[in-house]
Structure 1
Amino acid sequence: MNGKHSLHEIEEAEKKPLWQRLGWLALIWIGSVGALFIAASLMRLFMNAAGLTTH
């Protein structure tokens, strides 16, 4: 395909229940917040190991 979605594909996606579409949105949001938390925690761990503190 050329990367564009056909009208039929868009209509099929819109037929899915609202709870299912919102569920995917929540799942993606939780995943991104979790990944950010893990990255920030690792950075803080490495900074503390290097002797850098916040106070």
Structure 2
Amino acid sequence: MSRTMSGKSETQQAQPLLKRLAWLGGIWLASVLSLGVVVEIIRLGMAAAGLKTH
């Protein structure tokens, strides 16, 4: 088993990395979805005011 400078094995260090990447992906996905919701609300408001988006 290989050990790094901190004394933890590579698998012990890889797990927190995967966890951080999962959080990054989750936060990115949530931000994209929330932006989509905001865009749709704006489109509905524009359509209600008689404006066309296309």
| TM-score w.r.t. length of structure 1 | 0.65
Gaps of 5+ in 2: 1-12
| Residue 25 of structure 2 is aligned to residue 33 of structure 1 | no
For structure 1, list consecutive stretches of 5 or more residues without a partner in the other structure.
1-13
In the TM superposition, what is the alpha-carbon distance from 1:16 to its structure 2 partner?
5.1
Q: Which amino acid aligns with 1:25?
A: L
| Identical pairs, percent | 48
Residue in structure 1 matched with residue 41 of structure 2 by the alignment: 42
The total of aligned residue pairs comes to: 42
Give the Å deviation of 1:15: 7.5
Task: State which structure, 1 or 2, has the greater radius of gyration over its C-alpha atoms.
Answer: 2
Aligned to 1:38, the other structure's residue is in SS state: helix
**Which fold has the larger relative contact order, with Cα–Cα distance below 8 Å and residues 6 or more apart in sequence?**
2
- Structure 1's consecutive aligned runs of 4 or more residues displaced over 6 angstroms after TM superposition are none
